[in-house]
Each structure stands twice: as structure tokens, then as C-alpha cells.
Amino acid sequence: MRFICLALFLMLGLSSQVRAQDPAFRKKHFNVTDGPAIQGYDPVAYFTQQKAIKGKKELAVVYAGITYYFATADNKALFLKNPTAYEPEYGGWCAYAMGAKGEKVSIDPETFKIIDHKLYLFYNRFFNNTLKDWNKDEINLKNKADASWQKITH
């Protein structure tokens, strides 16, 4: 019986990992309705230069169905070595909205935060900077956002 439970557990874990890398599945859940991920901003620049920098179309990479643009060839090379290290959390949707309401809300690519080597993006329009609200209750909102994203993608 233990063997059967273990086998089922492993099958479920592997199937969710395969599903998470399926290009059609990712396109459905990632924030890419207007073109490339992060509205064309370079995901590596957030980590290496601590700022949002527009990428170039000629330095594009498609990773598991999601297109990313890069500002430099070096950033593109870093991404290709470990794409999951640079992809934004919650499919590039607003981290605050994911935590507060479990909703996919657009972002301002220039409003971001790096937490434990992960990129979090936030909505910031019409005098509503959700990063400020996130910072007031980060631990609770992050836990809720993680749970909400898990429900959306599994």
C-alpha cells in the first residue's frame, strides 16, 4: 500500500511539473496578452542592475512558450543558463493582487521587488502603487499569493 501511495504521489508531482512547463498552459496563465513577458523588459536586469530596463526584440528568447526580451547578449546568456531563476513570480501578474484577492492584475514593469532571489511585479497606476501596500503586510500577502497561484496553475 505504501508503494502505491508513493507511486501516486510521484506521478502527481511529475504531472504538475510537466503541466507547468507546457507552452499552451503557460501562455494561458502568464501575463503575456500584450506580447512578450514583462511588457518587453529584461528579466535579468532586475537582478544584475537592480532596475527595470527595456529589452530588445532582436535579443528575444522563447522559453517554454513565453517570450522574453533582453537588453544585452550577456543578460540573454545568463537567462539561458537558468531561466526559472529570472522568471517573475505569479506568471508576471501583480503580486499584491494575487495575495489580496487571488486575481491576475496587470503590472507596471518599473514597480518591482526582489525577495529571496525572486522577482515580484506590482500594479502602479492612478495613484495606486500596490508595492506600498505589499510592504505593509508582505509575509501574509506573499503566503496568500503563493496559495492563490498554486490554485490557478494546478
79 with 98, same domain: the answer is no
CA-closest candidate to residue 104, choices 119, 94, 89 = 94
On whether residue 56 sits in a domain, the answer given is: yes
User: What is d(CA 53, CA 142) in angstroms, rounded to the nearest whole number?
Assistant: 25
User: What is d(CA 131, CA 4) in angstroms, rounded to the nearest whole number?
Assistant: 45
H or E stretch including 22? none
99 with 145, same domain: the answer is yes
Residues forming a β-bridge with 113: 120
Range of 72's domain? 30-86
pLDDT at 42 over 90: yes
Predicted confidence (pLDDT) per residue in 73-127, tens digit? 999 999 999 999 999 999 999 999 999 999 999 999 999 999 999 999 999 998 8
pTM for the model:
0.85
93 with 79, same domain: the answer is no
Instruction: Kindly report the length of the chain.
Output: 154
Residue 3's CB is within 10 A of a number of other CB atoms, namely: 7
Domain total of the chain: 2
